[in-house]
Amino acid sequence: MSKMTIKIKDNSSEVANAFKMQAAAALEEIGLRAEGYAVRLTPVGTPESTGVVGYSTNGLKQSITHKVSGNAVYIGTNKKHAAYVELGTGIYASDGKGKKNPWIWVDKNGKGHWTRGMKPHHMLKKAASEHGEEYKNVIKKHLKNG
- Please report, for residues 17, 22, 50, 133, the alpha-carbon distance to residue 105 in angstroms, rounded to integers and kept in the order given: 55, 50, 10, 42
CA-nearest of 140, 145, 139 to 73 is 139
Element (H, E) at 115: strand 112-115
Query: Global pTM?
Result: 0.81
Phi and psi at 124, nearest 5°, equal -75, -45
Q: With bands split at pLDDT 50, 70 and 90, how would you rate the model's confidence at 58?
A: low
| pLDDT score recorded for residue 108 | 78
1 neighbors 46 (Cβ within 8 angstroms): no
| pLDDT score recorded for residue 5 | 87
pLDDT tens-digit series, residues 112-128: 889 999 999 999 999 99
Is the pLDDT at 101 greater than 80, yes or no? Answer: yes
Share of the chain above pLDDT 70, in %: 93
Is the pLDDT at 56 greater than 70, yes or no? Answer: no
